[in-house]
Chains A and B, each alone.
Chain A
Amino acid sequence: MASANTAQAKTQFGYRRHPDQERSGANVAQHPVVVVGAGPVGLSLAIDLAQRGQRVVLLDDADRIGEGSRAICFSKRSLEFWDRLGVGDRMVEKGVVWSVGKIFHGASQLYQFNLLPEEGHKRPAFINLQQFYAEAYLVDRVEQLPDIDLRWRNKVIALESRNDGVALTIATPEGSYQVHASFVVACDGARSSLRQMVGAEFAGQVFEDQFLIADVKMTAAFPTERWFWFDPPFHAGRSALLHKQPDDIWRIDLQLNPDADPIAEKQPENVRPRIERMLGHDKFEFEWISLYKFQCRRMAKFIHGRVIFAGDSAHQVSPFGARGANSGLEDAENLAWKLDRVLRRLSPEALLESYHIERSAAADENIRESTRSTDFMAPVTKQEARLRQAVLSLAKDTEFGKRMVNGGRLSVPSVYDTPLSSGDRDNWRGGPRPGASMLDAPVTEQGGGSSYLTEVFIRQGTRFTLLEFGNGAAVDVPEGVGSIRVGAEGGLVDTQGLAGKRYDAEPGTAYLLRPDGYVAARFRNAARPALDAALARAAGLS
């Protein structure tokens, strides 16, 4: 059903025989990195690695982009990552920009929230974009990068771990072949076959409630906001969600009873009356209908020898909160620079352990938040239902009640408690602390052009970068470290004062940013010894 709307994006790809397939035994091809799974996570990871100069083999067992809109909400953080990969503009041009959510109880609005109430950011809080568009744009970018070798209909069927890497057996329409990889990254989704091959458990909580997704095509004047209902008049006793996508497609999520018959519920003739009650008319067509239950779970360890797991293969969350695809993309950006350094032997392999530490803690946070939202929408016990009812009724008149209503807590970047950070030694009243991601702010360049800190960071090469505020002479940065200067002679001008404010800056303040844009350390007065120590720590060298 999705094909009608993807005319402008290529979704079908061909299998092509690769010379690796002629090789066998002692002669098999050796590759530094093989990424398995060409979904949003695998594609983004491959692009990041290739832009850092790594050669990547990217395998996918299908030969086409998946059907259905699936993930639709992409966060500011994901857009900033995609900016670095050269695809951000295309995503935002096609996507539906939004930042306001409204929560209804019954027929009346309880409250509304704005996820990005302040000005001066390059990217919005969220865009909605069908996953197939995101994947198609990423594939287009992959095709511009000769260092990525994307092989469709290549399915990993066996994996053998060795000391110096991994031997993979890959099935194709023309039989199977082997390759050897120094590292394999498994981005092969929730039903990851690589996870089974390494024998890892994937335990967690199963939710009994069923949810129905319907993408409907219609022209409607609803604002581009996220609307969530508890106990709506058109769907008594349950919850519902309405969200706009590009091409006049609207995502509708309806919570069903735990005992609802999945086959019957999915029939368009049964879905149609519900949606008619919701919209108050019948002028819509179905684009995609899907029924799902979900689990919240994660692997105990994201790294198994030289096989690294990223995205849904490593962790699964409930869909309320846009924490699935966005957290997978954060995995990719977290891993890419570390793997690049390890492959170049600039950092020891132990640096990769910080990927597990940082991203498994993020997965725990995402699971905790999305489990709470799910429990609030579908209370497990009678007492829980009573408490929820109390919150919803108190929310009408009280601020504290509004804040307790949980209709989904939307994805924000995690703050890492990580061995790569150097703790604060100076006094700070604000600004992103070590382990938090950089904040965007508008700046004016010499010559008058307007830009953003996130853009300047990209132009510095998305590497370790010192962001300095201030007067006087520039800190003499170590070789290979980028430099951004705000408010100094010849530097960027903080025209609106927002950069200084967001970074709690005084003259001399400096932030050491990691290649993924996270803060590694910050100083009121950056001196070389402290900077060198922070850099060594952030690179896993001390």
Chain B
Amino acid sequence: MALSTSSNFAKPDDAFRAIVEAHRGLTDAQSADLDAALVLVLANHIGDLDVLREAIALAKRRTLDASQQQQQQQQ
């Protein structure tokens, strides 16, 4: 199974909101802890190492893009 990046939620706003609200009232450190746990829970639910590796690659590429952009802006 390949990583699905099509939109899978009937109402994507509901999903985004649920995640945002889970973080409401938390400190930054608590938020980071929550995200770490959330990632492991969801990874286990997916239960497919290939999909997980693809997901990691996609997320990493994104953060690399962002840091490159920032460097360009600073130059």
Contact = CB atoms under 8 A, between A and B. Distances in A.
A383 B65 contact: no
B49 to A, nearest CB: 21
B6 A387 contact: no
Contacts, number: 57
Interface string A377-395: 0000111100101110110
B10 to A, nearest CB: 10
Interface of A: 369, 372, 375-376, 381-384, 387, 389-391, 393-394, 397-404, 406, 409
Nearest to B22: A383
B20 A375 contact: yes
Give the dominant DSSP class at A's interface. Answer: helix
Contacts of A369: 13
Contact of A397 (B5, B20, B31): B5
A384 B23 contact: yes
A381 B65 CA distance: 23
Closest 5 CB pairs of A and B: A398-B5, A403-B7, A383-B31, A400-B7, A403-B12
Interface of B: 4-9, 12-13, 15-17, 19-20, 23-24, 26, 28, 31, 58, 62, 65-66
Contacts of A394: 58, 62
A100 B41 CA distance: 39
A414 to B, nearest CB: 15
A390 B28 CA distance: 16
26 contacts: A369-B13, A372-B13, A376-B16, A382-B31, A383-B20, A383-B23, A387-B19, A387-B23, A389-B66, A390-B62, A393-B62, A393-B65, A394-B58, A394-B62, A397-B58, A398-B5, A400-B4, A400-B5, A400-B7, A400-B8, A400-B9, A401-B5, A403-B7, A403-B12, A404-B12, A409-B13
B60 to A, nearest CB: 12
Contacts of A372: 13, 16-17
Given A393-B62, A394-B58, A398-B58, 6 more contacts: A372-B17, A383-B28, A383-B31, A398-B6, A400-B4, A403-B9
A400 B12 contact: yes
A402 B12 CA distance: 10
A376 B17 CA distance: 9
A374 to B, nearest CB: 12
A404 B23 CA distance: 18
Indicate the member of A383, A399, A403, A404 with the most B CB atoms within 10 Å: A383
Nearest to B24: A381
B73 to A, nearest CB: 9
B31 A404 contact: no
Contacts of A387: 16, 19-20, 23
Contact of A381 (B9, B16, B23): B23
Contacts of A401: 5
A369 B26 CA distance: 24
Contact of B26 (A383, A389, A402): A383
Contacts of B7: 399-400, 402-404
Contacts of A383: 20, 23, 26, 28, 31
A391 B62 contact: no
Nearest to B73: A236
A406 B17 CA distance: 11
Nearest to B66: A393
A391 B66 CA distance: 12
Contacts of B24: 381
Contacts of B19: 387
A190 B28 CA distance: 37
A277 B58 CA distance: 34
A382 B23 CA distance: 10
Contacts of A393: 62, 65-66
Contacts of A381: 23-24
A164 B17 CA distance: 46
Contact of A391 (B8, B16, B31): B16
Indicate the member of A397, A403, A406, A409 with the most B CB atoms within 10 Å: A403
Contacts of A402: 7
Contacts of B6: 398-400
A369 B16 CA distance: 12
Contacts of A400: 4-9, 12
B74 to A, nearest CB: 13
A406 B62 contact: no
Indicate the member of B20, B26, B31 with the most A CB atoms within 10 Å: B20
A372 B16 CA distance: 9
A96 B4 CA distance: 39
Contacts of A398: 5-6, 58
Indicate the member of B24, B28, B62 with the most A CB atoms within 10 Å: B62
Nearest to B3: A398
A401 B28 CA distance: 24
A387 B34 CA distance: 13
